[in-house]
Amino acid sequence: MRSRKNPTPPHLSLILPVYNEPHRLQAGLKLAVNYLKKQSYSWEVIVVDDGSTDTSTSNWWSGISRNSPEVKLIRTARNFGKGHAIRLGVAVGRGDYIIFSDIDFSVAITYLPQFLSALKKSDMAIGSRRLSASRITQHQPLLREYLGRGFTQLSNWILGLNHSDLTCGFKAFRSKPAKDLFSHQQLNRWAFDAEILFLAKKFHYRVTEIPVTWHNNPFTKVNLFKDTITSLISLAQIRLIHL
């Protein structure tokens, strides 16, 4: 990991997990940095490269690290999964508030003020595509959308939760709850969202759902059937792991 010492913790840590997506990384990181530079508070961006095998990602990174000292990079030796990548980012995040997002910003970064405001009274704030005030400007393929809804319903039933959307890729935390939750989180892949929310209930953390406008990215790396089956198996693992 490359970093520069700063004795004062930033107000915000933004974690961006990536895997073999140099073009989306360039666009997403530029968008994030340009937005954050306009804010009055201090910040850091932690990019977690989850074992990318393409050389263009590493070549492009060298210029960014020189020009934006607030941007830091963590690289893993191989691909472990999104849950593992975010766990690493949370572990090193120094901000009073810790937020993670997908690099394509299917939920716009301009939602940050709403999430930070929610954290004044809650420990965790999660984006939701399923509330009455939510909006989807580009839907997922119909089968994938139905499977996503089904996974949320099944997760709520098996894990004793009551959330409208578990897998929206924009979530925010106060620092202490984030460190606590991810220190207990063990699943490395797609069901980690459900695990975090299960742990939040177990440890009595307050969770607020925020309606968001969401735009589907057609170039998602989700393997529909494989990841759905894996996630369903993981729901049983969550109950067993955290007995």
pLDDT(4) > 80? no
pLDDT band of residue 207 (cuts 50, 70, 90) is very high
pLDDT tens readout for residues 163-182 = 999 989 999 999 999 999 99
At residue 224, the pLDDT reads: 55
At residue 137, the pLDDT reads: 85
pLDDT(25) > 50? yes
Instruction: Give Cα separations from 241 to 59, 175, 203, 214 (angstroms).
Output: 39, 24, 15, 32
Residue 72, token pair as written in the block? 């830091």
pLDDT(72) > 60? yes
- Work out the mean pLDDT of the chain and round it to a whole number: 88
How far the first Cα of the chain sits from its last, in Å, is 34
The residue with tokens 């440890």 is 203
pLDDT(6) > 60? no
Q: What is the mean predicted confidence (pLDDT) over 19-33? A: 88
- What are the chain's domains? 12-241 (3.90.550.10)
Q: Of 91-105, 147-161, 207-221, where does mean pLDDT reach its minimum? A: 207-221
Q: Which residues pair with 95 in a beta bridge?
A: none
pLDDT tens readout for residues 144-164 = 677 777 888 989 999 999 999
pLDDT band of residue 79 (cuts 50, 70, 90) is very high
The residue with tokens 């954290």 is 119
At residue 57, the pLDDT reads: 63
Helix (H) or strand (E) holding 220: none
- Residues contacting residue 116 through CB under 8 Å, at least 6 positions apart: 12, 97, 172
At residue 53, the pLDDT reads: 86
Residue 35, token pair as written in the block? 């937005």
3-state SS, one letter per residue, for 158-176: HHCCCCCCCCCCEEEEEHH
pLDDT band of residue 33 (cuts 50, 70, 90) is very high
The CA R_g of the chain, rounded to the nearest whole Å, is 17
Give the full edge-to-edge strand order of the sheet including 124-128: 71-75, 43-49, 12-18, 97-101, 170-174, 124-128, 207-211
pLDDT(227) > 70? no
At residue 146, the pLDDT reads: 73
Q: Which residues pair with 125 in a beta bridge?
A: 172, 208
pLDDT tens readout for residues 110-141 = 999 999 999 999 999 999 999 999 998 876 66
pLDDT(231) > 90? no
At residue 3, the pLDDT reads: 45
Dist CA 18 CA 72 (whole Å): 13
